[in-house]
Amino acid sequence: MVQNKTGFSKLSKEEKINWIAEKHFSNPKEAVNLLQRYQNFDASLQKLHDEFIENTLTNFYLPLGVAPNFEINGKNYTIPMAIEESSVVAAASKAAKFWSARGGFKTIILGTEKIGQVHFLYEGDTQKLIEYFNFVKPFLFSEVDSITKNMQKRGGGISDIQLIDKTAALENYYQLHANFQTKDSMGANFINSCLEQFAKTFKNKSEAFGMPSIQIVMSILSNFVPNCVVRAEVSCPVSELNEDKNNTSSEFAEKFLTAVKIAEVEPYRAVTHNKGIMNGIDAVVLATGNDFRAVEAGVHAFASKNGSYTSLSHAKIENGIFTFWLEVPLALGTVGGLTNLHPLVKFSLEMLGNPSATELMEIVAVAGLAQNFAALRSLTTSGIQQGHMKMHLNNILNQHQATKEEKLLVVAHFENQTVSHNLVVDFLERLRTN
Ligand code: MEV
């Protein structure tokens, strides 16, 4: 069945699948069959997923793994991780075990403030605008009463609203810049609803005040949250650091420190260094139903807040003690959004003991620090390819439909050899032709 593109969203799911299969695939039957194999046999679960987004065709799986043995502020956690990259979960688990024998991870919340802005243009006298802002400010608060009531009961709400003059950056450009506390919710809906009401109030009252030229451009939260930050840290005596026979503890510690310093001064390295941190952060953010795009955007803006992109983690050695820490902005929620809807998100949160949003910030930051520690330890000792390609080997074998027997032979062959995609495929082909 071929359908006109303009009515696509109106088609049933089956009609959409058929339309796509016929339009874009040389073997439409095969394409339909693939999409069907990914549908959940539980119709109500499938319906739930279908309705998360628009034009759903099927599900797109990511593995959900766990990293056990995390000791955070004296409490034990098994951390859920949704990620497609091999080695990440293994690295987190290894780092968790390593640090649980050395006092575990310590964390502290440095702030929980969220930000939203009403962006507007105004052509008149700035002093008059300031007077108008002072007049309208109480109305900005009172006219969002119905929106803020519940949040206030939970201890959150709007902490402040300021008028910001941005005309030096862009002609006639001003903002209402508001600070929010959103407790256990990420707060996007709450903040955006407040902002849209601020914009209405601000515009509505302006004419009576003789300020007709205010033009609202947009109202939206900011994903840059430099005051919604958590710090995670590990430390131990340098002498207890080493597990590698080829280096002494202090050689390892010094090299590790240098690797961190390189990421602090060299943006090319900092981006990769931080990517490793995000391997841990994103996996937990995703498993707990949080918005990883918001977290990514905010984290990288934070990493460049002083004008050049730098490492999110830092390390020092003082009086024989090695300390490694990370500070990251994380706007997370444990209520609202997907948290009540996605059964695996509920599962992940229950596995974590149904944490508050701040406790989740701590767990997520720890996952990032653990990942960074594991990556730097590999990079400054054996290199990452040895471990990484061994894990990758399984993916290559699966990709080439290797049998159990073939897998055993290939794994044995590459036990002491560098793994590369070509070498594995060559070896597999030789096995199959002999
Ligand atoms: C790979 O996903 C992440 C690393 O590149 C991180 C790093 O280099 O620190 C290993």
190-205 tens-digit pLDDT: 999 999 999 999 999 9
Per-residue pLDDT, 389: 74
Residue having the nearest C-alpha atom to atom 2 of ligand 1: 276
Tokens of 7: 């009515």
Question: What distance in Å separates the CA atoms of residue 231 and residue 234, rounded to the nearest whole number?
Answer: 10
Percent of the chain with pLDDT over 90: 88
Per-residue pLDDT, 244: 64
Residue 225 Cβ contacting ligand 1 at under 6 Å: no
Instruction: Tell how far the Cα of 371 is from the centroid of ligand 1, in angstroms.
Output: 9
The H or E element containing residue 313 is strand 313-318
Percent of the chain with pLDDT over 70: 97
Model confidence at 394: pLDDT above 90? no
Are the beta carbons of 192 and 169 closer than 8 angstroms? Answer: no
For the chain, the straight-line distance linking the first and the last C-alpha, in angstroms and rounded, comes to 48
Name the 3-class secondary structure at 281: helix
Closest CA to 264 of 98, 376, 106: 376
- Tell me: the pLDDT tens digits for 158-184? 999 999 999 999 999 999 999 999 999
Instruction: Tell how far the Cα of 273 is from the centroid of ligand 1, in angstroms.
Output: 6
Per-residue pLDDT, 390: 74
273 by Cβ neighbours in 10 Å (0-12 / 13-18 / 19+) ranks as: buried
- Tell me: the pLDDT tens digits for 204-257? 999 999 988 899 999 999 999 999 999 999 999 999 997 766 668 999 999 999
Which letter does DSSP use for residue 7 in this model? G
Per-residue pLDDT, 392: 77
Instruction: Tell how far the Cα of 369 is from the centroid of ligand 1, in angstroms.
Output: 12
Q: Which atom of ligand 1 is nearest to the CA of 269?
A: 8
Domain regions of the chain by residue span: 2-50, 81-111+229-382, 114-222, 387-433
The number of beta carbons lying within 10 Å of the beta carbon of residue 150 is 11
Residue type, 407: K
Residue having the nearest C-alpha atom to atom 10 of ligand 1: 375
Tokens of 14: 């089956």
- Tell which CATH architecture fits domain 81-111+229-382: Alpha-Beta Complex (3.90)
- Write down the H helix ranges in 206-356: 249-265, 267-287, 292-303, 343-351
The H or E element containing residue 213 is none
Closest CA to 299 of 313, 318, 320: 313
Instruction: Tell how far the Cα of 122 is from the centroid of ligand 1, in angstroms.
Output: 47
Give the HSE-up count for residue 245: Cα atoms under 13 Å, Cβ half-sphere: 0
- Tell me: the pLDDT tens digits for 52-97? 999 999 999 999 999 999 999 999 999 999 999 999 999 999 999 9
Question: What distance in Å separates the CA atoms of residue 154 and residue 264, rounded to the nearest whole number?
Answer: 39
Tokens of 146: 């119905």
Q: For the residues 357-384, what does the mean pLDDT come to?
A: 95
Residue 272 Cβ contacting ligand 1 at under 6 Å: yes
Q: Where are the beta strands (DSSP E) in 142-181?
A: 157-165, 173-181
Residue 114 Cβ contacting ligand 1 at under 6 Å: no
- Residue to substitute in 273, 385, 392 for testing ligand 1 pocket (most ligand atoms within 8 angstroms of CB): 273
- Tell me: the pLDDT tens digits for 260-287? 999 999 999 999 999 999 999 999 999 9
Percent helix, percent strand, percent coil in the chain, to nearest 5:
50, 20, 30
Catalytic residues: 85, 275, 291, 388
Check: pTM over 0.85? Answer yes or no.
Answer: yes
Q: For the residues 387-394, what does the mean pLDDT come to?
A: 76
Model confidence at 3: pLDDT above 60? no
Residue 27 Cβ contacting ligand 1 at under 6 Å: no
How long is the chain?
Answer: 434
Are the beta carbons of 208 and 150 closer than 8 angstroms? Answer: no
Q: What strands lie across the sheet with 157-165, from one edge to the other? A: 157-165, 173-181, 114-121, 215-222
Q: Which atom of ligand 1 is nearest to the CA of 384?
A: 10
Residue type, 258: T
- Tell me: the pLDDT tens digits for 96-124? 999 999 999 999 999 999 999 999 999 99
Q: Which atom of ligand 1 is nearest to the CA of 85?
A: 2
Sign of the Cα pseudo-torsion (207, 210, 216, 221, in order): negative
Instruction: Tell how far the Cα of 375 is from the centroid of ligand 1, in angstroms.
Output: 6
Instruction: Tell how far the Cα of 192 is from the centroid of ligand 1, in angstroms.
Output: 35
Per-residue pLDDT, 420: 85
Per-residue pLDDT, 417: 80
- Residue to substitute in 86, 271, 275, 281 for testing ligand 1 pocket (most ligand atoms within 8 angstroms of CB): 275
CA distance to 179, 186, 191, 251, 360, per residue, from 195 (Å): 11, 15, 6, 54, 26
* Residue 109, beta-bridge partner list: 230
* Residue 324, beta-bridge partner list: 234, 315
DSSP 238-264: GGG----TTS-HHHHHHHHHHHHHHHH
Question: What distance in Å separates the CA atoms of residue 93 and residue 100, rounded to the nearest whole number?
Answer: 10
Q: For the residues 28-47, what does the mean pLDDT come to?
A: 97
Residue 273 Cβ contacting ligand 1 at under 6 Å: yes
Residue 346 Cβ contacting ligand 1 at under 6 Å: no
Instruction: Tell how far the Cα of 78 is from the centroid of ligand 1, in angstroms.
Output: 23
Residue 259 Cβ contacting ligand 1 at under 6 Å: no
Judged by phi (left if over 0) then psi (alpha if -120 to 50, else beta), residue 113 lies in beta
Is the domain 114-222 a CATH 3.40.50.960 member?
Answer: no
Residue having the nearest C-alpha atom to atom 6 of ligand 1: 276
Residue 262 Cβ contacting ligand 1 at under 6 Å: no
Distance from the Cα of residue 411 to its chain's centroid: 34
Per-residue pLDDT, 46: 97
Instruction: Tell how far the Cα of 59 is from the centroid of ligand 1, in angstroms.
Output: 28
Per-residue pLDDT, 416: 78
Model confidence at 14: pLDDT above 90? yes
The H or E element containing residue 14 is helix 13-24
Per-residue pLDDT, 395: 83
Residue having the nearest C-alpha atom to atom 9 of ligand 1: 273
247 by Cβ neighbours in 10 Å (0-12 / 13-18 / 19+) ranks as: middle
- Tell me: the pLDDT tens digits for 329-354? 999 999 998 888 999 999 999 999 99
Sign of the Cα pseudo-torsion (361, 367, 371, 374, in order): positive
